[in-house]
Structures are given as structure tokens and as C-alpha cells.
A and B are shown apart, each in its own frame.
Chain A
Amino acid sequence: MNAVDMSHSFRQELDAAILSWTHQLAPHGIFTTDHEMRITSWNHWLETHSLFRAEQVIGQPLLKIAPSLSDRHLDGYFGDALKGEVKIVATALHRYLLPFPPTIPNSGFSHMQQSARIAPLMLDGRIWGTITVIEDVTEREWQNRELRNEKERQELLSETLAHLLIARDPDALVRDLFGRVAGQLKVDTYLHYRLERSTSRLHLQSSIGLTQDQEKALAILEKGEGYAGAAVRTGRPVIANFLRRSNDRQAESFKELGLEASAAFPLTVGEHLSGALVFAARRREKWEVEEVQFLHTISRYVAMTLDRTRQERTLRESEEQFRIMADTVPDIIYTATPAGRFDFINQRFYVVTGTTGNRALHFGWLRSLHEEDRPHLVEAWKEAVQTGQPFSAEFRLRVADGKFRWFFARARPVLDLVGQIVKWFGAITDIHDLKETQLALGTAQRQLADYAANLEKTVEMRTTELRENILHLESFSYTVAHDLRAPIRAIDGFARMILEQCDEVIPENSRHGLERIIRAAGCMDALTRDLLNYTKVATQKVELSLVDPNVVLEDVVTMNEALREPHATVAIVRPLHPVLAHSTLFTQCVSNLLDNAAKFVAPGVKPRIIVRSELIAPTDGNSDATPNANASEATLSPEARTSAGEDGYVRLWVEDNGIGMDALTREKIFGLFERAREVKRYPGTGIGLAILAKAIQRMGGRFGVESEIEAGSRFWIELQAVR
């Protein structure tokens, strides 16, 4: 049997069966009304979702079952349907047709979200009533809403991020931000805490939703106190739902404020913890996961902004400090871009050059430069900028009085982490005075060098002259002394002859006179002899060789009766070290010293003379001592010359128990014709020690005396030792 063959009555039965099953099975609400809007059918789905059973509603006016229809102007839709129109009830515009409980718990919808169609129910070409089909679109709407919320959150986040990126005042920002978030998330309270590092306490920085008293009560949190404290301590978000039911100690203060849910986030960037941000709500009991994520993201943004503003502040301060410092130092300080353009120059530049404004920036400073220095300086600066090598240069700048002064500039590049030049730092120092001093010094040095060269020549010339003079003088005195002795000997000889031959006839006083002539002649002879000796010592050619002081001493003592017992005691402390000397001169020196030691004793005192020697290391013994000529005139024999000074010196001491001398005498005693005042009554010519001085000097040695009045004298001579 096919559809064409169906009888009318069968068709009616089939329709009734379909309708019956539709009522049972349809996943939608289906109901009908008569033209008086009384409910005539109510399907199974409606029974399930409305909690009204069919028998409870059938026959009842629709507006009695759903009185809100007329408040929401939907009753007219049924009227329109009764006029033949098909009506659409869109969820977006009405949310629902009949008020049923929501099918998704905690979806935030107060009613099941519905879309519906209302159509006229035609019977035999007449409108008999209406038929309505309701669809549950709660799930769809919920998803849509979540999607919309998510989109709004994303938009809010990106807007927030844009805001945060340029924000200067983080507190104003958090406040503004909260205004946007509050509506979206039904939060009404926020608290922004700042962590005080020194005390580990949290200080309330800004808040919304609290009275002044409440703010005061929550102004400072101790370490770990409250949700904010917990978030800071753990470094993690602390989410609290259903506060009213919570027995948590941390919940206490919030419960008192009537808050139902709280979400606290630490404000962290990397390792740096700056505080906490707490969101709280009175109108909601719990947070959704997405909301927590959203708030967490917001908190991270805020933390980043706080960190950024903190860093910017530090940077501004350090830049400010640099500027202040730069303006305080006495040098010109500048910074330049990697391309070498001056982007900062301190006030000192303007003070020094007498210019004003920002004239020096970029390449303006070149205007103050001396024209001659400009090309090489520009070249050097260009090269430094290109190569990144440190820069230094000397140049002249026109200073305030219009004159040019010398300056010295140095600059170093500052590199970033990858070695790129970020900035040039430079300093310019006034070196004008230094430069002038250097120039003056150079001139002075040149003059001095010239002078020194002249001086050497002069000295050489004078020395030659002096040598010639000395030679002349010495030969003159030798001649004089030699020629003088002949008349002296004649005077002496003839005086003695007169005295011997005419002894009896000469009156007593004449004899006396003759005797004085003879004595004076003797003196004169001794004087000329000594003078002769002295000049001999001074002019004689001196060759040094090994001399044994023991032998010399023995000879001297043997030859001079006055040095022998019972007249005097000469004690020799052995060993006496051999010396490098001229035998004759050395003998003369030793003889002179022993003569003096035996002669200058107080009347009635027997001279006691001690002779000893000591070795002096090569480097020692050159610092003390009296008149001394280091410049030896002695001609050292070749073998002696090689060992000169290397073996040190021998100091030969001659100590006596004589009358001694004072300091003044000690200084003069070695001069020609110098005699101690105290020894006027002793015979002598005053030449002996002068001869000694000259002899020692010519042998390259040194001499000296240690003595006090009435305490004896200790003369010493020092000659090169021989090993």
C-alpha cells in the first residue's frame, strides 16, 4: 500500500499516531492553545522541564501558567499567531518564552534559555488556536556567553596591556583597571599591597570597596597575614571561595567585610616580589577557573608595570644624578650617540666657552674649535666612531675671553651585552697651563744642555790652566827652596867659623848673637828642606807597589833615636796589613806621624805610641773622614790598577798620648804652614802634615785624625789593601 492509496480515515489515524509519538518523543516543548489562549496540549518534554504535569495545565489560560508573558509583551505574539502570523521568539531578544528552571546548574542563567516559534493552528481553513514549539538553547547560550566573555576578557587584557605599557602612575592604573574588570567579573573590592622589604610587611597602597575605617584596619599586614600575606609568602595565587562557610583564620577579616570570595595574587616579575593584588566580591561566592586565570594574568601585567615604572624611576634618578654630577665636575663632560653626535654636554662647556643654549649639541661644539685643529680632530673622532676604539686628542678651544686654550679630550664607547656601542662617554680637560709649563720646561732643558756643554769646556780649559800654574808654582818653589839653601848654609857656616876661630875675642853678647844667627839659619834650612820635600811630593811621579808597613816602621824607628827607648815607646799591634803605596812617600808619611806623636807631648811625659792597622771593606769607609781628595793624581801601575778598590783599604792608625787638639785645629792641621796654637813652643815648620796630606792624596788614599785636647791624638791614613 502506498501513500496514494491511503484512505482518509487511515490518514487521520496515522496523523494521530504520529502526533502522539511526537508528543512523547520530541526533544522540544510543544503546546497548543485554543483561540482564547487556553492550553489544550502539553507534551512530555514540557512536563519534564516545567514541573507542571499535563493534567495540571490543560484547560488553564496560558497567562495564568506564565503571567510574565504579558509583562514581556509576548502575549501579543499569540494574538498575532491567532491572526495567522508565524512568530519567532529569539533568545537574544527575550531569553525565554516560558519561565523554566535552568538546565545547566551554576550557568549563571536564572531560567532555561529558549527559542520558540508560535504558529497559527489551522483547522478546516480557519484558525482554531496556536501551536508553540520551544527549544532549550541554554547550552548554546552558555557557550556563546562564555565565548563572548572570553573575547571581552581578551580584549580587556590587550587593552590593559596597552594601557600598562604607557602607564606612569601604577596606582591610578590599577584603579582604572579595576573599574573595567569589576563589571565583567562581579568583583567590588580590590586591595593593592606593597611589600616593604626591610620589615617584610605589606602596606595597603590603594583599594576600592572599603570604608576608611576598613582601610585603616587592613593598612598593614604582618608577614604571612591574610590572603595577601599568604600569596606573598607562597609566591602563588591564593583563591578562596565560599568565605562565609570558611573556618579559615585568614578569612576572618574578609568575612567581617561581608566578602564572599577572594583571589589574592603575588606581584612578581622574575625573582622580584613587589607586593600583592587582592580581588574580592560580595555578590558572588566562587570564582570560575577562567576568571582566576584572567585575574592572574591581569596581576602579572600589573606586576610587570610596577617593575617597569620602578626601573624607569631608578633610571631617571641615575640619569639625573649623572647630570648633576656632570655639571659639578670641573671638566667638560659629554655623551654622544653611536654615530658620534653629541647628545649631552654639561654646563661646564658653556661656562668655559662663554656660549649659551644648546649650541654645542650634535656637532655644534666644532664652532668653538681652533681652525687649525679642526681637520685632524674631526678625522680622529670619525675614526674612533667607526672603529669603536677609545678616542683622545689635544686641541685648542676658544674660551670665554676670546682667546684659545689647550684642551685634552678622551672618550670611551659604552657597549651593550652583544658588544654594540650604545653611547660614547667623554671628558675634556683644560691642559693649557700644563702645556705652557711643558713648553717652558723644554726651552729650559735645551738652555741647560747648552750651558752644560759650555761649562765642560770651560772647566777643562781652567783645569789645564790650573795644572800649568801648579806645575809652574811647584817648580818655582823647588827652585826657590833649593837656591835658598845655599846662602843659608853660607850664613850658618860663616857664623860657626867666626864662633870657633874667634871664640876668645868675641864679647859675650856678640857670641850670643852669633849663636842666634846659627839657630835661625838652622831653622831656615829645615824650613827650606821641608818645603823642598813638599814640592817633591807634589811634583814627583808616583808609582804604586806593594809596601809592607812592618819594614817601613822598623826603618823609621831605627833611624830616629827619639822614637826609641828610653825616650819613647812605640808599640806595634800586628799584623800590619800590606798596602799599595809609593815606598818613599809612605815612609815619609809614617815618619812624619811618628815624629809628631813623639814630639807633641806634655813636658815630662814619655811618649807612648801605638801603631795598628785595620782592613776596610771595599764599599765602606768612603763616607766619613776629613779633607780628602778622591780625585787621585797617582798613576797606578797596571797590575795595581786592576785590583784598585776591589780588595778594600788598609787603615793605619798612629795613636799617641800627646797633648791632643781641638776641633778647629783638627780641621786645619793638614794645611801648609798650619800649626796648632798649643804647639808654638814645640820646634817645627808646619809643613810635615801638609806633606803627608799631599802624599796620601797622590797615592789615592785618605787620611784623618781623631783627637781631643789633652786626650791624645789618633791619626790615620788609608791606602788600598793588597791581598
Chain B
Amino acid sequence: MELTATHQEALTELINIGYGRAAAALSELTGRRIILDVPKVAVFPIDKVSLVLSQVLQGEVASVHQVFSGPVAGHALLLLDHEAAMLLNSLLLDQASTGRLDATAREALIEVGNIVLNACLGVFGNLLQVQVTFAVPRLHMESVGSVLNSISVHEEELQYALMVHTRFHLKDSDVSGYMVIVLGIASFSRLLSELEKWEQRQVSR
């Protein structure tokens, strides 16, 4: 399944809306201006994602993982390499990094990831006009391969991954990461068709 240019444009715009909300929430939370932008959106079959991601995220990766269920079900992940996770953490908490991700730091990352993921998925939910139910977000520290493996191993349905390169701008620094939304083929087809409708609505408006 390929994303057309139209799909890509529409997806980018929608995610930007979600990120806009997330950035507002994070700015409110931390009391300083935070911007989230989306340089690139792409779709890969799940078995390719691992290959692509492991080229940009090396070693141990901090991933905030949230399972969502309902008419559209899947996994939402925010992936940051260890360095980026540390940097983001110290920038958000405004304190020198202790050099490790302790419980406090992990919790903060979960909250931030949760905000970003919820904002995005919320926008999708609104678009698809479905109620999405979330499980409690969790943080894993492992390699990209292990993360994706634990997700796909239990699913028999053919899966696709929406990969969103994500950049946090705060305090003159950039922190780069990836949001990955893994969907079954049915959910993904539905998302694309809803996107097309949305696009048409936007044009006709």
C-alpha cells in the first residue's frame, strides 16, 4: 500500500493539527514555548519499519508505547534514542541531566509521550468519528527491533506503520524522534479513505 501525494499532504496536515495541540499542552505544562513539527511522514509495511528505523535510531531506544482499541485499533509509539530522551528530559525539567533515566525521568517522558500520542490519535478519532480507547502508556528501554518485534509477534493481521519524523523545538534546542502508529490493514484502509473524504471536504469548503 502506497501513500499518494494527496494522502501524504492530508496526513501531514492532520498530524500537524494534533502536534499543535500537543505543543500547546506541553508549553502550558512546562511554562515555556515548545514547538513540534513534522518534517516527514511515510508508510511502511511493518517488516520494513524495523530496518528503516534502526538506521536512524541506534542502540537502546526509549519508547513510549500506548495501545489503543476500538473501531480502529493499533499501537502508538514515540521513539527517542537515549541521548535525545535525556536531552528532552533535562530541557523539560530544567535541570542538569543526572546521566541516567531514573523513575522520575521515565515518568516525565511517559507523560510527554502520552500527550503527543493522544493529541495525534485524538485528531484521527475525530476524523474517523470513532471512540478510541487507550490503555495505560508504558515506557520501554530496548532496541528498535525488540520494540517492533514485541508488537508484531502477537498480531496475525498484515500491519502497516505510519512513520512520522518528529522534532521538538525548545530553548534553542532541537530534539528529534519518531512517532510510529502501527495499524492493521483494515484500520489503515479506513484511515486512508476517511483522509480522502476529509481532503474533499476541505477543498469543497
| B28 CB–A CB distance under 8 Å | yes
Smallest Cβ distance from A381 to chain B, in angstroms?
57
Complex-state Cα separation, A120 to B70, whole angstroms: 14
| A88 CB–B CB distance under 8 Å | yes
Complex-state Cα separation, A92 to B95, whole angstroms: 10
Choose one: A86, A88, A90; the contact of B135 (CB below 8 Å).
A86
| B118 CB–A CB distance under 8 Å | yes
| A505 CB–B CB distance under 8 Å | no
- Are A88 and B93 within 8 A (Cβ)? no
- Are A86 and B114 within 8 A (Cβ)? yes
Complex-state Cα separation, A85 to B123, whole angstroms: 12
Which of the 9-residue segments A147-155, A327-335, A677-685 touches chain B? A147-155
Choose one: B92, B105, B134; the contact of A84 (CB below 8 Å).
B134
The interface bits of chain A over 80-101 (1 if a CB of B lies within 8 angstroms of the residue's CB, else 0) are: 1001111111111110000000
Which interface residue of A83, A86, A140, A141 has the most chain B CB atoms within 10 A? A86
Smallest Cβ distance from B113 to chain A, in angstroms?
9
- Are B110 and A144 within 8 A (Cβ)? no
- Are A144 and B93 within 8 A (Cβ)? no
Complex-state Cα separation, A699 to B131, whole angstroms: 162
- Are B122 and A90 within 8 A (Cβ)? no
CB nearest to A155 among chain B residues: B96
| B148 CB–A CB distance under 8 Å | no
Interface size grouping (class) on chain B: 20 to 34
Complex-state Cα separation, A224 to B132, whole angstroms: 75
Specify which chain A residues have a CB less than 8 angstroms from the CB of B122 in the assembled complex.
83, 85
- Are A115 and B98 within 8 A (Cβ)? no
| A73 CB–B CB distance under 8 Å | yes
Choose one: A83, A84, A85, A92; the contact of B93 (CB below 8 Å).
A92
Complex-state Cα separation, A141 to B104, whole angstroms: 7
| A455 CB–B CB distance under 8 Å | no
- Are A84 and B104 within 8 A (Cβ)? no
| B102 CB–A CB distance under 8 Å | yes
Complex-state Cα separation, A607 to B30, whole angstroms: 151
Question: What DSSP secondary structure best describes chain B's contact surface?
Answer: helix
Complex-state Cα separation, A72 to B102, whole angstroms: 24
Smallest Cβ distance from B128 to chain A, in angstroms?
13
Specify which chain A residues have a CB less than 8 angstroms from the CB of B96 in the assembled complex.
148, 151-152, 155
- Are B134 and A85 within 8 A (Cβ)? yes
- Are B118 and A85 within 8 A (Cβ)? yes
Contacts of A491-549 to chain B: CB distance below 8 A: none
Specify which chain A residues have a CB less than 8 angstroms from the CB of B118 in the assembled complex.
80, 85
- Are B92 and A93 within 8 A (Cβ)? yes
| A122 CB–B CB distance under 8 Å | yes
Complex-state Cα separation, A76 to B30, whole angstroms: 15
Smallest Cβ distance from A135 to chain B, in angstroms?
10
Smallest Cβ distance from A55 to chain B, in angstroms?
30
CB nearest to B105 among chain A residues: A92
Which interface residue of A92, A117, A148, A152 has the most chain B CB atoms within 10 A? A92
| A231 CB–B CB distance under 8 Å | no
| A411 CB–B CB distance under 8 Å | no
- Are B107 and A90 within 8 A (Cβ)? yes
Smallest Cβ distance from A263 to chain B, in angstroms?
25
| A304 CB–B CB distance under 8 Å | no
- Are A90 and B108 within 8 A (Cβ)? yes
| A609 CB–B CB distance under 8 Å | no
Complex-state Cα separation, A91 to B102, whole angstroms: 12
Number of A interface residues at 8 Å Cβ cutoff, please give it. 29
| B111 CB–A CB distance under 8 Å | yes
Smallest Cβ distance from B189 to chain A, in angstroms?
23
Specify which chain A residues have a CB less than 8 angstroms from the CB of B29 in the assembled complex.
73, 93-94
- Are A93 and B108 within 8 A (Cβ)? yes
- Are A88 and B110 within 8 A (Cβ)? yes
- Are A88 and B114 within 8 A (Cβ)? yes
Choose one: A86, A93, A137, A155; the contact of B137 (CB below 8 Å).
A86
| A119 CB–B CB distance under 8 Å | yes
- Are A140 and B135 within 8 A (Cβ)? no
Contact A148 to B103, CB < 8 A, known contacts A88-B137, A90-B108: no
- Are B28 and A73 within 8 A (Cβ)? yes
- Are A137 and B104 within 8 A (Cβ)? yes
Smallest Cβ distance from A71 to chain B, in angstroms?
12
Smallest Cβ distance from A155 to chain B, in angstroms?
8
The interface bits of chain B over 91-127 (1 if a CB of A lies within 8 angstroms of the residue's CB, else 0) are: 0110110100011110110111010001000100000
Contact A119 to B136, CB < 8 A, known contacts A88-B111, A137-B104, A144-B104: yes
Specify which chain A residues have a CB less than 8 angstroms from the CB of B131 in the assembled complex.
84
- Where the two chains meet, the residues of B that have a C-beta atom closer than 8 Å to any C-beta of A are 25, 28-30, 66, 89, 92-93, 95-96, 98, 102-105, 107-108, 110-112, 114, 118, 122, 131-137
Can you add 13 more A-B contacts, CB < 8 Å, to A90-B112, A119-B136, A137-B103?
Answer: A73-B29, A86-B114, A89-B111, A90-B107, A90-B110, A92-B92, A92-B93, A92-B105, A92-B107, A115-B107, A141-B104, A148-B96, A155-B96
The 6 lowest CB-CB distance pairs between A and B, nearest first, are: A92-B108, A90-B111, A90-B107, A88-B111, A90-B108, A86-B134
18 contacts between A and B (CB under 8 A): A83-B122, A85-B118, A85-B122, A85-B134, A86-B136, A86-B137, A88-B107, A90-B108, A92-B92, A92-B93, A93-B92, A93-B93, A93-B111, A117-B136, A119-B136, A137-B103, A144-B104, A148-B96
- Where the two chains meet, the residues of A that have a C-beta atom closer than 8 Å to any C-beta of B are 73, 76, 80, 83-94, 115, 117, 119-120, 122, 137, 140-141, 144, 147-148, 151-152, 155
